[in-house]
Structure 1
Amino acid sequence: MHRVSTEASGSKPLLAVRGLEAWYGESHVLHGVTFDVPAGEVVTLLGRNGAGKSTTLKAIIGIMRRRKGSIRHAGQETIGLSARAIAKCGIAFCPEDRGIYSSLNVEENLRLPPVVRDGGLSVEEILDMFPNLRERLKSQGTKLSGGEQQMLAIGRILRTGAKLLLLDEPTEGLAPVIVQQIGRTITQLKERGYTIVLVEQNFHFASTVADRHYVMEHGQIVDMMTNADLGASAEKLSRYLGV
């Protein structure tokens, strides 16, 4: 396999991942993952199922118990920190399963995560961004529709003050009109100065919100392309993704 440049040119990246390895038990699943996330960009991890995309997010946030390599956030090495300490650095993770607590209503779910830094959105600002939730504040979190649960999962991490957001498959299983709303939300967050790493199977959606795309295969980054390059790279991308 030819070597590709997976490091962004220009200013120092907000997130710099170098030689990241990770294991599930004895299973070695990430093999030297290296990529950059410039501040203020939306970056996607693309690839087929099992390529290591979600595992990469879990390794960055510290959920993977066995990992090695280097993960630098705003110049600080985080590879040796716990998930709690990493969150306090200003990184937030929205998991694929959304992690909504069934015993809590919408408002309680929104207020659950601790504020780790100044600058997080207030509950009122979150409800302005997701007006559907305003009408459901006293509803049990898991009684919401799939789209509303995704809005709640994203809204919840915006309270924390984190400026680097890791979003795992935010559009999976959602109706097209909700996918469009999630896309508008990601665009709004970028305009507010957030940096986002997005794992997404829906490439057509990813191409509407992202600045650059990293392609993963077999636990490695094998290519990078900017959104402006997608037209010229369509055939190559189809081979990678099998679309």
Structure 2
Amino acid sequence: MPETTAPYLRVRNLEAWYDESYVLQGVDFDVAEGEVVTLLGRNGAGKTTTLKAIMGLMPRASGSITFSGRDILGHPPHRIARAGIGYCPEERGIFGSLTVTENLVLPPAVAAETISLARIYEMFPNLAERRDSAGNKLSGGEQQMLAIGRILRTGARILLLDEPTEGLAPVIVQQIGRVIADMKKAGLTIVLVEQNFHFAAHVADRHYVVERGRVVDMIPGAELTAQEAKLRDYLGV
């Protein structure tokens, strides 16, 4: 039998709590290097909590999370970030008093090879035009571009993106979709939490369905059309 390659990111029996609330109840999924994978599910299913647990941001979590063959569960967030995992939260987390350029150059590099500032501005022309504007003067779409661009500048090899298209105009959603496609071509790995089913369908290789703190199904991108009715039932759309 041919040898199999270990997943780039491997999550097994991941459990997490907020105080006494048992949110993640045994999440299992794999992500291969260079893949784009989505976590789909209704609000409150545990998708965002899964990303936070990977980043070490949950106060209580158990199970197993390995990245590039190394166990990272229980590591502090700064160590996980320096290992090469970038996290873009739903609230974006940019610095409103800093300019676009200052936001982009502030985070430390986590790899020898990073994406240049010039390349970020090529990917996001809107940011190039607003490079001297404060973060709190940007539109929601521009803030989302800035949040993604800031992660790319660090040299992170796997990106965790939480609802990157929420509330954005269709033209901005299309631009973010093109950037994700470019990132995949460049060899980056992406875990995407997304409510926009149509957006996720066009950018992802595989879709994991999360319900009540567990992964209940996996739908390959190639089978999405055939299984669309089932997926819509899962999502309640």
TM-score (norm 1): 0.95
TM-superposition CA deviations, 1:129-188 (whole Å, max 9, x none): 111111111111011111111110000000111110000000000000110000000000
Q: Following TM superposition, by how much is the alpha carbon of 1:119 offset from its aligned partner in structure 2, in angstroms?
A: 1.6
Q: Following TM superposition, by how much is the alpha carbon of 1:11 offset from its aligned partner in structure 2, in angstroms?
A: 2.3
- Matching residue of 1:3: none
- Matching residue of 2:228: 234
The match for 1:140 among 125, 134, 137 is 134
RMSD in angstroms over aligned alpha carbons?
Answer: 1.0
The answer on 1:150 being equivalent to 2:144 is: yes
Residues 164-175 of structure 1: matches in 2 within 5 Å? 164-175=158-169
Runs of 4+ in 1 over 3 A off after TM superposition: none
- Note the residue ranges of structure 2 that are not aligned, 5 or more in a row: none
The answer on 1:121 being equivalent to 2:115 is: yes
Q: Which moved more, 1:113-122 or 1:203-212?
A: 113-122
> Alignment length, in residue pairs?
235
- Matching residue of 1:4: none
- Matching residue of 1:69: 63
- Note the residue ranges of structure 1 that are not aligned, 5 or more in a row: 1-8
Instruction: For residue 144 of structure 2, give the secondary structure of its aligned residue in structure 1.
Output: helix
What fraction of aligned residue pairs are identical, expressed as a percent? 65
Residues 1-243 of structure 1: matches in 2 within 5 Å? 10-243=4-237
Instruction: For residue 154 of structure 2, give the secondary structure of its aligned residue in structure 1.
Output: coil
Q: Which moved more, 1:98-107 or 1:194-203?
A: 98-107
TM-score (norm 2): 0.97
Separation (CA, whole Å) in 1 of partners of 2:233 and 2:130: 43
Separation (CA, whole Å) in 2 of partners of 1:119 and 1:198: 23
